């Protein structure tokens, strides 16, 4: 099978847990019918599945790798029949084309995958978009930190939703909830390193900058540091 040759020799290399907020904003926008059975076929440690359960859905969780959650050793790409009403998951990137093709053939009501925003810019993937036209492309309006087993990655992603047979794809932006923005601002205000970063901004202290940015991401960190620096300069004058 083609997908077996594509698998990484080290399965941990493609494991990145999905932050809770990423699934919540999808379900705020796109709501599978109540009482539906949702299958998460690349469940990992259950991050997405747990949010689905909190929202009242019946959930079946599986993964080809045993992460201590759901049914282990179950290969989505070789599964047969319609096993749920909907599919929602964060597929392994190197198998994404095959996941889209497989999900399209399961006859579910709809399915949603997390896909890096740059995915469609890669040669060959445009055909997948054309052959399996999605109903929604929903980019997140912030850079998301996905934590892996060995490292974290700041990635711009979108949810892509396939449902029915749409003639056109709807593009919309999923915004960060205001409550989460306030929570981040409070965390920054209580961060002991924040003052040190602003004081060393013009000194080029790379270690302090790197430590802080690794916590909140470059996008958020740069904006907050610049805002604080400008306020300090304004107060000084």
pLDDT digit string, tens, across residues 126-176: 888 889 999 999 999 999 988 877 778 888 999 999 999 999 999 999 999
> pLDDT value at position 105?
92
The string of pLDDT tens digits covering residues 203-213 is 555 555 566 55
Host domain of residue 220:
178-236
Residues 108 and 209 in one domain: no
Compute the CA torsion angle 80, 81, 86, 91 (nearest 10 deg).
10
Tell me which of 148, 171, 194 is where a domain ends: 171
| Strand-strand pairing, 110-116 and 157-163 | antiparallel
Cβ neighbours around 39 below 10 Å, total: 27
> DSSP string spanning 128-164?
HHHHT--SEEEEBSS-EEEEESS-EEEE-EEEEEEES
Of 22, 80, 89, residue with least CA distance to 59: 89
Residues 35 and 68 in one domain: yes
Average pLDDT over residues 112-123: 87
Cβ neighbours around 91 below 10 Å, total: 21
Residues 59 and 98 in one domain: yes
Residue 4 has pLDDT above 50, yes or no: no
């Amino acid at each position: 099978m083609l997908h077996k040759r594509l698998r990484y020799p080290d399965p941990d290399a493609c494991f990145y847990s999905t932050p809770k907020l990423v699934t919540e904003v999808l379900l705020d926008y796109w709501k599978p019918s109540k009482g539906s059975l949702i299958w998460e076929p690349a469940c990992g440690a259950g991050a997405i599945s747990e949010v689905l359960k909190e929202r009242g859905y019946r959930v079946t969780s599986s993964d080809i790798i045993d992460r201590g959650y759901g049914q282990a050793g179950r290969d989505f790409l070789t599964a047969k029949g319609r096993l749920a009403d909907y599919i929602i998951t964060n597929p392994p990137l190197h198998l994404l084309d095959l996941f889209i093709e497989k999900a399209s053939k399961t006859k579910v009501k709809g399915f949603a995958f997390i896909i890096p925003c740059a995915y469609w810019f890669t040669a060959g993937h445009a055909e997948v978009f054309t052959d399996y036209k999605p109903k929604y492309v929903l980019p997140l309006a912030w850079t998301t930190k996905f934590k892996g087993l060995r490292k974290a990655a700041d990635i711009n992603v979108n949810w892509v939703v396939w449902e029915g047979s749409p003639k056109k794809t709807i593009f919309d932006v999923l915004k960060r909830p205001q409550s989460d923005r306030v929570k981040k601002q409070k965390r920054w205000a209580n961060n002991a390193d924040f003052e040190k970063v602003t004081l060393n901004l013009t000194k080029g202290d790379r270690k302090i900058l790197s430590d802080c940015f690794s916590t909140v991401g470059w996008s958020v960190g740069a904006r907050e540091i610049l805002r604080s620096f400008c306020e300090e300069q304004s107060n000084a004058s």
